[in-house]
Amino acid sequence: MAKVDIRKLTDTELADFFIKYDEKTFRIRQINEWLWKKSATDFDVMSNLSVKLRELLSKNFSINNLVIDHSQVSADGTIKSAFRLYDGNFVEGVLIPSGSRLTACISSQVGCSLSCKFCATGYLERKRNLDAAEIYDQVVLINKQAQHTFGKSLTNIVYMGMGEPLLNYNNVMKSIYLITSEEGLHMSSGRITLSTAGIAKMIVKLGEDSVKFNLALSLHAADDAKRNKIMPINETNSLPILRDALRFYCKSTNNPVTFEYILFNKFNDSMEDAKKLVRFTRHFPGKVNIIEYNAISAAGFTKANPYATDAFRDYLEKNGVNARVRRSRGKDIDAACGQLANKL
């Protein structure tokens, strides 16, 4: 039988195991330090545990850590990595250098179930959720890349890779706890952004849980008819429903919201589209990130021309919306927004 990944056990379950084998339960704290703060992938390195205990752990448990199968480096310095999971599945993550920032873009699911028409991941089958340790491992490995390549650690983490984070809520929340905890990587929650396609009831739950990290909504159209065409999730999470959920979230957390808006040529880049976007976003603290579209072969969209992009941004700013155009990085290695598709 396959061994249980020790990182999936609660402290109570570990305590029961230790009592069964007449081991001291204070060892749990030492083991957790090795697993999370030191990111150990082998029981043999846990040098403050007895050889007998290490052998007992190795006999009964595994550590199903991710490994980097291969990486690609973009001309702009972006690094995309394919992470191999213990069951043979793959997810991708990206290290994005930009000015003084080093950002890890990480995945939360193997594939995706939302089928957004402009996103390469949306054309993949959703095979399963990642567990908290698998999400955590991506940050650990990308941070090592940052230290090796750029001589410094990550500054930011974005849950914007493969999958919909709010459809893997418990594992994502646990991973953020481990990343921010003193017992883990001890990174600031203010440096973490979770991006969602818009699962209204889970946005409400974020508010109920009073989360401290940042929220980004992949909006891409402020018109239900248009949003339905490109994001099927909108059929059950319409703009009025999302508006109410965001109001609750903002009131509960006092956090701003980032609205992500990809501009598609002659689809959502008109002044009328800009007016609708102003009307939707003006009720919330935050900003709009205008994103240039990165073409994928499965979709028939093209990116808006530069003049339309500048006019769109200028209209937002003139009407009191904090807006900026975000340039994509890593396009030459299919690492940019919407391009992750496990091209091995």
Residues forming the active site: 92, 337
Alpha helices in 118-270 (DSSP H): 132-150, 169-180, 200-208, 224-230, 239-253
The b-or-e profile of 211-248 (16+ CB within 10 A means b, else e) is bebbbbbbbbbbbeebbeebbbbbeebebebbeebbeb
Q: Which residues contact 47 (CB under 8 A, 6 or more apart)?
A: none
Q: What angle do CA 10, 15, 19 make, to 5 degrees?
A: 155
Q: Do residues 71 and 344 lie in contact, with contact meaning Cβ atoms separated by under 8 Å?
A: no
How far apart, in whole angstroms, are the C-alpha atoms of residue 48 and residue 36?
Answer: 15
In angstroms, the CA 149 to CA 94 distance is 13
Q: Which long-range contacts (CB under 8 A, 24 or more apart) does 16-23 make?
A: 17/60, 21/56, 23/53, 23/56
Contact yes or no for 41/69 (Cβ under 8 A): no
Classify strands 257-263 and 214-218 as parallel, antiparallel or unpaired: parallel
